[in-house]
Structure 1
């Protein structure tokens, strides 16, 4: 089962890897990119965090809040992905509560997808190396764009372990969902 566009996003009340509170309900009124990764030492996931960090400034100008969830503990996240000093919340979910709420899947075919080789080489070329695996090794990423009303605007469930919603799709969605002067006045 997957979440559909237009559905209200499940509530997410948690803490990031530095124990700061994170709440989707508190972010109403702002668009959110909620990205589910695999484990903290996954080279392809670390490459995606790097891509998001590099795009963060321009995305933040559009009002976008980025939240990134890993199936690892906060300690493991600080050891691996935390070295990137990302300008957005990195959220540990070792019990996979958020993964279940958003129906983020696993699948061996996605782990064995040929496209993973290209993505792994890209990650290795940027210095990201595999390490300890936390949780299911066959976890597949997922990305959700959540609108200002807390509804899912895009639900992207990856078919390969190195696949994510393209950043171009994020910027296009933001442009299409930019508040107009009349919507700001009536709010």
Structure 2
């Protein structure tokens, strides 16, 4: 199964939420930069995280924390795959610097398959407001330094998406899952690493000596 890429297709109705122990089918995803990749990955666990739109301030701030500790995440045997519901051409301008795979799903087909929802509480829940403020301030600072880009004024996929995290074992079994309740409700890197043992041991590295 290739990455969905048709932005004119009507978003599918979300399925029921997935739970630990559920299995996901093997598919090939095409990141906005880099080669295609398989999910599940027979060589490592995969952390699939669903974000919002390209340039989302809260998403950008969170992904910085993931990028800073990416080597640590890899040592734990986890591969990062991040989905946004923006077109690939738009998304590429915002995420080309990240050290992990970012996939465009403008038709929200994978969002529907994984039961990831959009809801007004994404922005209206007061628990998410501090993250919004931090993200906006960080984005403004980047713009003043001549870095970063503003998100597009029009977001066909909406701005009220909720985040979600899935840890998938090499065999394709979901070992841990989190459906966010507001815009800034996702696993921290520390929380992700606590789930790593459930997905199996890290893939062996190259021989030394």
TM-score (norm 1): 0.86
User: Quick check: 1:40–1:77 contact (8 Å CA) kept in 2?
Assistant: yes
Worse overlay, 130-139 or 59-68 = 130-139
Cα distance, 1:160 vs structure 2? 0.2
Structure 1: gaps (5+ residues)? 181-187
Of 39, 56, 76, which aligns to 2:90? 76
- Indicate the residue corresponding to 1:21 in structure 2: 36
- Indicate the residue corresponding to 2:103 in structure 1: 91
TM-score (norm 2): 0.77
User: Quick check: 1:39–1:134 contact (8 Å CA) kept in 2?
Assistant: no
Of 195, 198, 209, which aligns to 1:173? 195
Aligned residues: CA RMSD: 2.0
Cα distance, 1:179 vs structure 2? 2.7
- Indicate the residue corresponding to 1:185 in structure 2: none
Structure richer in helix, relative to its length: 1
Query: How many Å separate the matches in 1 of 2:30 and 2:199?
Result: 28
**1:126 alignment partner, SS class:** helix
Cα distance, 1:75 vs structure 2? 1.1
